[in-house]
């Protein structure tokens, strides 16, 4: 019986590997590259024990502990312990997102689109698709762990030894396995890919918040979080293995539970009771704008909450900003190297925060527009365009929603940042901070326009827009630190936005960025009118 349920798992695994041959390597390379670059940056900036100890003192700020986790080896703060302290938890969140997306994509999303039903019509086992997805999840996280181990161990940094690097890679791999297993469980609860993903993201967010609150309060609560547990491994200091074993056992438990529930439910169903629908559809659904809002409602609410939390967390740091910044060399490099161009270090730091919030706020804006691409790929656009809804109206609906989303998300981020900041800082100007943030809108609209142009002409290349956003983040967060050339920095539209606290506004530059965004959108519209609809 078990043999029949698992029949053809190997062949399905190879098929899934072929499907994911681009996305997964991009994730692995990106995570490894960021980790290695940060390790090299730490090694170059903190050459003496005195510099490292000063950094250790600044990281004892409760707000920083809540953000990055409890530090170990602070009395002898080596490059290795610094890397694990400041990067492990945040990178673990990224690995968790990777695993959640992977499992949802290979299980509930395929089931929702009818692909699983077609697959089961062939001589394959009932659990073959799920087993293949689990196998790919394991292989992906094992490869990530090995690549991280090799990447860090090869740096020849004294405190970043091979066993510690193995522990660092293994910790992140274990985190990925845990959240992948949790996602396998949530896919049995919800009858939709979106619902499953939101439940998994809720577990990830809860894990981070439980760890943050517990670490800041020096409580035992972080032991209830996988992120808190792997942080207790004290990598590059004590290298405890038992927290990783606990997380692995929890992952196995969720995976077995998920497989058991899948064996009990019908295809296309979820174990959670469905909410009773309305007897009549809303009037908003008569038009494309209401329909698109309905499709995006849950993710928009989740992103709105996320932007409020991000802004609030950054705002909470501002109270002890002078103590945190001090004469910290890395922060000096990140926020702009020397400060001879004017403005205080605090003002430059605030400018960097507005940079990062703008980058993060662009993600939901792009997600909104690319929902149109997802609808086309699922062959849902063609029936709509067969009605009186024109291509122009259909495209402009998602484009407009994307632009509006950028404004809303950016506003939520800066309002929460300024609101919390005003509580902990006496002389912080709410209006000035909001102005400094909203001035990024033209740069965000350039990227949205770029996404529209790619989708309009060559939908398969739309992923380039995400790479451009990732590149922009690199130039903002690590550009000065790694001494990127000026011309390379200026490739990012975000680098053309002035730091309003220390620079004058160049209205011509902002107008040009705005026109570029509109121009790219028009180019995309022309391409969309000319090309065939997929399906």
Residue 87's closest CA among 150, 31, 163?
Answer: 31
- Is 48 domain-assigned? yes
Domain end residue (candidates: 239, 268, 297): 268
Does the residue 35 lie in any domain? yes
**CA 68 to CA 279: how far, in whole Å?**
48
Tell me the average pLDDT across 494-519: 87
- Asked if 208 and 332 sit in the same domain, the reply is no
Q: Is the pLDDT of residue 122 over 80?
A: no
Cα 379 to chain center, whole Å?
Answer: 27
255 lies in the same domain as 302? no
pLDDT in tens, 380-403: 888 888 889 999 999 999 999 999
pLDDT for 535 beyond 60: no
Measured N-to-C along each axis, helices 162-189 and 242-264 cross at an angle, to the nearest 10 degrees, of 20
Region 414-422: what's the mean pLDDT?
A: 88
pLDDT value, residue 423: 81
Q: What distance in Å separates the CA atoms of residue 239 and residue 236, rounded to the nearest whole number?
A: 6
Encode burial over 223-237: b for 16+ CB neighbours within 10 A, e otherwise: eebbbbbbbbbbbbb
pLDDT tens figures, 189-224: 988 888 899 899 999 999 998 998 888 777 788 889
Residue 287 φ then ψ, to 5°: -120, 165
| Assigned token pair, 23 | 């996305």
Q: How confident is the model at residue 5 (pLDDT cuts 50, 70, 90)?
A: low
Q: How far apart, in whole angstroms, are the C-alpha atoms of residue 41 and residue 477?
A: 12
Q: Tell me, what's the pLDDT at 298? A: 83
Position 327 pLDDT exceeds 60? no
Closest by Cα among 268, 235, 283 to 70: 235
Contact 149, 166 (CB under 8 A): yes
339 burial via Cβ count (<10 Å: 0-12, 13-18, 19+): middle
333 and 45 Cβ atoms separated by less than 8 Å: yes
Q: How far apart are CA 534 and CA 298, in angstroms?
A: 26
495: helix, coil or strand? Answer: helix
DSSP state letters, 138-167: HHHHHHHHHHHHHHHHTT--TTS-HHHHHH
**Distance separating alpha carbons of residues 64 and 59, to the nearest angstrom:** 6
Do both 293 and 408 map to the same domain?
yes
Domain boundary among 241, 268, 295: 268
Please count the other Cβ atoms lying within 10 Å of the Cβ belonging to residue 522: 14
Taking the C-alpha atoms of residue 267 and residue 265, their distance in angstroms, rounded to an integer, is: 7
- Compute the distance between CA of residue 372 and CA of residue 455 in angstroms, rounded to an integer: 9
How far, in Å, CA of 426 to CA of 418, rounded?
Answer: 11
Q: Report the range out of 119-128, 146-155, 209-218, 416-425 with the highest average pLDDT.
A: 146-155
Q: Is 275 inside a domain boundary?
A: no
Whether residue 422 sits in one domain with residue 394: yes
pLDDT category at 481 given cuts 50, 70, 90 is low
pLDDT at 338: 46
Question: Per this entry, what is the length of the chain?
Answer: 535
User: Is the pLDDT confidence value at 1 over 80?
Assistant: no
Answer whether residue 445 is part of any domain.
yes
For residue 328, what pLDDT band results from cuts at 50, 70 and 90?
A: low
CA torsion, ordered 54, 478, 315, 355, to nearest 10 deg: 150
Rounded CA gap, 316 and 78, in Å? 27
The answer on 293 and 261 residing in a single domain is no
Measured over the CA atoms of residue 215, residue 217, residue 218 and residue 224, the dihedral's sign is negative
The pLDDT of residue 268: 73
Q: What is the pLDDT of residue 68?
A: 85
Dist CA 412 CA 418 (whole Å): 10
DSSP 25: H
Residues 121 and 49 in one domain: yes
What is the number of other CB atoms lying within 10 angstroms of the CB of residue 347? 18
Residue 64: what pLDDT?
76
274 domain residue, yes or no: no
Cβ burial, residue 431 (10 Å; 0-12/13-18/19+) = exposed
Residues 196 and 316 occupy one common structural domain? no
Cα separation, 281 vs 321, in Å, equals 51
The rounded Cα 31 to chain-centroid distance in angstroms is 11
pLDDT computed for residue 171 by the predictor: 97
Give one DSSP letter per residue of 209-253, joined into a string.
Answer: HHHHHHHHHT-SGGGGSHHHHHHTT-TTTT---HHHHHHHHHHHH
Domain finish residue from 214, 241, 268: 268
Q: Are residues 140 and 235 in the same domain?
A: yes
What's the CA gap between 162 and 156, in Å, rounded?
Answer: 9
pLDDT at residue 345 tops 80: no
Asked whether residue 45 is assigned to any structural domain, the reply reads yes
Q: Where are the alpha helices (DSSP H) in 340-429?
A: 345-377, 381-385, 391-424
Q: What secondary structure letter does DSSP report for 337?
A: S
More confident residue, 98 or 55: 98
Domain check: are 84 and 38 in the same one?
A: yes
When mean pLDDT is compared across 59-68, 83-92, 99-108, 526-535, the lowest value belongs to 59-68
Looking at 10-24, 42-56, 276-290, which range is the least confident one?
Answer: 276-290
Of 507, 520, 512, 457, which Cα lies nearest the Cα of 490? 512
The H or E element containing residue 482 is none
Angle at 102 between CA 34 and CA 104, to 5 degrees: 140
Pick the most confident of 53-57, 83-87, 339-343: 83-87
| Residues 392 and 477 grouped into a single domain | yes
Is 279 inside any structural domain? no
| Residue 325 banded pLDDT, cuts 50, 70, 90 | low
Could you tell me which of 92, 384, 61, 367 has the C-alpha nearest to residue 211? 92
Same domain for 205 and 335: no
Q: With 70 as the cut, is the pLDDT of residue 368 above it?
A: yes
pLDDT single digits (tens) 455-480: 999 999 999 999 999 889 888 777 76
Lowest mean pLDDT among 160-169, 419-428, 432-441: 419-428
**Same domain, residue pair 47 and 95:** yes
Domain that holds residue 335: 286-535
What does the mean pLDDT of the chain come to? Answer: 87
DSSP letter assigned to residue 533: P
Q: Taking Cα atoms as reference points, which of 105, 94, 90 lies closest to residue 26?
A: 94
Query: Is the residue at 262 inside a domain?
Result: yes
pLDDT above 90 covers a percentage of the chain that reads 49
Domain count within the chain: 2
d(CA 386, CA 15): 34
Q: Can you read off the two tokens belonging to residue 110?
A: 């395929």
CB 1 within 8 Å of CB 117: no
pTM given for the model: 0.83
């Amino acid at each position: 019986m078990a043999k029949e349920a698992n029949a053809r798992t190997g062949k399905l695994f190879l098929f899934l590997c072929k499907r994911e041959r681009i996305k997964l390597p991009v994730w692995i390379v990106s995570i490894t590259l960021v980790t290695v670059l940060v390790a090299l940056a730490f090694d170059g900036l903190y050459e003496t024990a005195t510099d490292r100890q000063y950094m250790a003192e600044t990281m004892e700020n409760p707000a920083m502990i809540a953000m990055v986790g409890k530090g170990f080896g602070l009395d002898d703060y080596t490059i290795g312990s610094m890397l694990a302290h400041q990067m492990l938890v945040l990178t673990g969140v990224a690995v968790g997102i990777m695993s959640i997306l992977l499992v949802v994509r290979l299980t509930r999303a395929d089931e929702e689109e009818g692909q699983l039903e077609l697959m089961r019509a062939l001589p394959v086992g009932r659990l073959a698709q799920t087993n293949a997805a689990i196998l790919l999840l394991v292989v992906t996280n094992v490869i990530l762990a090995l690549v991280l181990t090799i990447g860090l161990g090869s740096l020849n940094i004294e405190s970043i030894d091979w066993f510690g690097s193995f522990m660092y890679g293994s910790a992140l791999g274990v985190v990925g396995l845990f959240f992948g297993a949790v996602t396998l469980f949530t896919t049995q609860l919800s009858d939709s890919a979106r619902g499953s993903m939101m439940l998994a993201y809720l577990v990830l967010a809860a894990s981070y918040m439980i760890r943050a609150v517990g670490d800041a309060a020096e409580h035992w609560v972080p032991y209830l979080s996988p992120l808190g547990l792997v942080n207790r491994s004290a990598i590059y200091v004590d290298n405890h293995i038992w927290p990783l074993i606990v997380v692995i056992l929890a992952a196995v438990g969720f995976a077995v539970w998920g497989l058991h529930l899948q064996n009990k439910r019908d295809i296309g169903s979820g174990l959670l009771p469905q909410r009773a629908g309305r007897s009549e559809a809303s009037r908003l659904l008569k038009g494309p704008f209401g329909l698109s809002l309905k499709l995006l409602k849950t993710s928009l609410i989740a992103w709105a909450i996320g932007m409020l939390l991000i802004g609030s967390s950054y705002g909470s740091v501002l109270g002890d900003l002078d103590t945190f910044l001090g004469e910290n060399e890395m922060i000096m490099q990140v926020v702009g190297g020397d400060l001879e161009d004017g403005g205080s270090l605090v003002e430059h730091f605030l400018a960097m925060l507005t940079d990062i919030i703008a980058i993060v706020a662009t993600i939901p804006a792009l997600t909104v527009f690319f929902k149109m691409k997802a609808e086309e790929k699922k062959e849902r656009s063609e029936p709509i365009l067969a009605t009186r809804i024109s291509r122009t109206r259909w495209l402009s609906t998602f484009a407009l929603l994307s632009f509006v989303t950028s404004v809303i998300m950016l506003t939520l981020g800066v309002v929460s940042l300024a609101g919390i900041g005003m509580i902990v800082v006496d002389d912080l100007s709410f209006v000035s901070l909001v102005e400094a943030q909203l001035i990024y809108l033209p740069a965000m609209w350039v990227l949205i326009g770029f996404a529209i142009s790619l989708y309009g002409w060559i939908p398969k290349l739309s992923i380039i827009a995400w790479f451009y956003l990732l590149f922009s983040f690199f130039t903002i967060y690590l550009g000065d630190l790694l001494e990127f050339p000026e011309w390379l920095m200026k490739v990012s539209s975000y680098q053309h936005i002035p730091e309003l606290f220390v620079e004058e506004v160049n209205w011509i530059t902002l107008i040009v960025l705005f026109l570029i965004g509109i121009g790219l959108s028009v180019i995309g519209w022309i391409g969309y009118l000319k090309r065939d609809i997929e399906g």
